[in-house]
Amino acid sequence: MPPAAARRKDFTGFRMRVQYCAWSKITAFQASRPFIVKADISMGFASLTHPARGSKIVPIVATLQRTFSVTTTVSSTHHAAPRVHPAGVRPSLEIVPFDAPVGAEVLGLDLNKPLSAEDFARIHRAHLDHHVLVFRDQRITPAQHIEFSRRFGPLQIHVLHQFQLPGHPEVLIVSNIRENGQPIGLGDAGHFWHSDLSYKEKPSLGSLLHAQELPSEGGDTLFANMHLAWDTLPEHLRKAVEGRSAEHTYLAKYAELQKRSPWRPNLSAEQIAEVKPVVHPIVRTHPETGRKALFVSEHFTTHIVGLPEDESRELLEALFAHSVRDEHIYRHQWAEHDLVFWDNRSLMHLAAGTPDHLRRKLYRTTIEGNAPF
């Protein structure tokens, strides 16, 4: 650690300032607020980590010949800038894992530029390893968003066609904004823990959510690692679910959500036909990694096949509670133009909520997966 004179902390107005000496390659300390700051001087960046809120990457700016400093505002709207690189040097693609049960940030990626097969392969591998990838400051069009998503597989169209982005049916608008008295998007998406499209015969491989307009507070997204949920499941629960399957249906909570949000549209007969109940194994095997994960959620899973209703409900409640223990969760705080890509075969997610008077809008694509086994 550098001498005390080389370090200082200032929390005025939630602002944190840390000064590092250049000859100290790595320094770290636990701040009086629950944030950990780590800096790698040779690489020119610092990582801010909060136990519940996840990590942010901020640049280290040279202030003196032998001294570096970093200043950041700790809030949900802080824009985590990419690391600083020497002029004229193109950053290489780097994967920086979060200090959390899931998640990593991909540095050096600009989806406005062609993506090589080698870099795509690294992103694919990182997605399998970390389950949630965060691409910062992606100022891309919906067409580019769709193009990148399609590299992972065919895209799925959400049953609520009312909230498709005009001209781009592959994009679902997730938003609480109303125009002319009508919602422009699905405002209560993610109200319950779920895995996207688990109610389909071929549930989603993954989803990519791109920030368009963010609130000044709230709007976080939580991700639960369902591989960890299975790995840590008590033995009596493992035995109870072994070889069993459960029903998933899009309609499970639909009426309840309509009561909470009256603007949520009634489904047509054609839409209901698109979302007939399906049965999937309670424990699924990831088709690419072979890892097992729990595959039930409070939003779409209705009952366990072959069990009496009371036993099914009791067992599902135990699985739901275990899945979302704090030690399984990463909480993502959105920054402007974030693109977040998560693996629905490995995770559940939840929207933490946004105050009604604040505007939030994101665009989502969803990649088709395989039938769970």
In a domain, 70, yes or no: yes
CA distance 160 to 172: 8
Residue ending a domain, choose from 35, 50, 74: 74
* 196 belongs to the catalytic site: yes
CATH of the domain at 303: 3.60.130.10
In a domain, 222, yes or no: yes
Selecting among 83, 130, 158, 194, the annotated active-site residue is: 194
CA distance 330 to 369: 23
pLDDT < 70: residue spans in the chain = 1-91
* Residue 140 and residue 66 share a domain: no
> If DSSP states are collapsed to H, E and C, what string results for the chain?
CCCHHHCCCCCHHHEEEEEEECCCCEEEEECCCCCEEEEECCCCEEEEEECCCEEEEEECEEEECCEEEEEEECCCCCCCCCCCCCCCCCCCCEEEECCCCCCEEEECCCCCCCCCHHHHHHHHHHHHHHCEEEECCCCCCHHHHHHHHHCCCCECCCCCHHHEECCEEEEEEEECCEECCEECCCCCCCCCCECCCCCCCCCEEEEEEEEEECCCCCCCEEEEEHHHHHHCCCHHHHHHHCCCEEEECCCCCHHHHHHHCCCCCCCCHHHHHHCCCEEEECEEECCCCCCEEECCCCCCEEEECCCCHHHHHHHHHHHHHHHCCHHHEEEECCCCCCEEEEECCCEEEEECCCCCCCCCEEEEEEEECCCCC
* Residue 137 and residue 38 share a domain: no
CA distance 282 to 276: 18
pLDDT in tens, 286-335: 999 999 999 999 999 999 999 999 999 999 999 999 999 999 999 999 99
In a domain, 216, yes or no: yes
* Residue 222 and residue 294 share a domain: yes
Q: Which domain holds residue 274?
A: 130-368
Beta-carbon contacts of 268 under 8 Å, excluding residues fewer than 6 positions away, are: none
What is the structure's pLDDT at 91?
54
In a domain, 96, yes or no: no
Selecting among 286, 303, 331, 364, the annotated active-site residue is: 364
Q: How many domains does the chain have?
A: 2
Selecting among 248, 328, 349, 360, the annotated active-site residue is: 349
In a domain, 373, yes or no: no
Residue ending a domain, choose from 40, 58, 74: 74
List, as own/partner pairs, every contact residues 271-277 make where C-beta atoms lie below 8 angstroms and the sequence separation is at least 24, other chains included. Answer: 271/159, 271/160, 271/161, 274/159, 275/159, 275/199, 275/200, 275/249, 275/250, 275/251, 276/249, 277/199, 277/247, 277/248, 277/249, 277/251, 277/302
* Residue 138 and residue 45 share a domain: no
* Residue 134 and residue 70 share a domain: no
* Residue 170 and residue 32 share a domain: no
In a domain, 120, yes or no: no
Placement of tokens 């080698």 in the chain: 118
* 280 belongs to the catalytic site: no
What is the structure's pLDDT at 262?
81
What is the structure's pLDDT at 57?
52
Give the type of residue at 229: A
* Residue 148 and residue 45 share a domain: no
* Residue 337 and residue 262 share a domain: yes
* Residue 188 and residue 53 share a domain: no
pLDDT in tens, 158-213: 999 999 999 999 999 999 999 998 999 998 888 999 999 999 999 999 999 999 99
* 286 belongs to the catalytic site: no
* 110 belongs to the catalytic site: no
What is the structure's pLDDT at 44?
45
* Residue 290 and residue 170 share a domain: yes
Question: Residue 70 has which token pair?
Answer: 């970093």
* Residue 352 and residue 234 share a domain: yes
In a domain, 115, yes or no: no
* Residue 282 and residue 179 share a domain: yes
In a domain, 311, yes or no: yes
Q: How far is CA 52 from CA 13, 178, 194, in A?
A: 20, 31, 19
Selecting among 196, 220, 338, 343, the annotated active-site residue is: 196
What is the structure's pLDDT at 54?
52
Residue ending a domain, choose from 32, 50, 74: 74
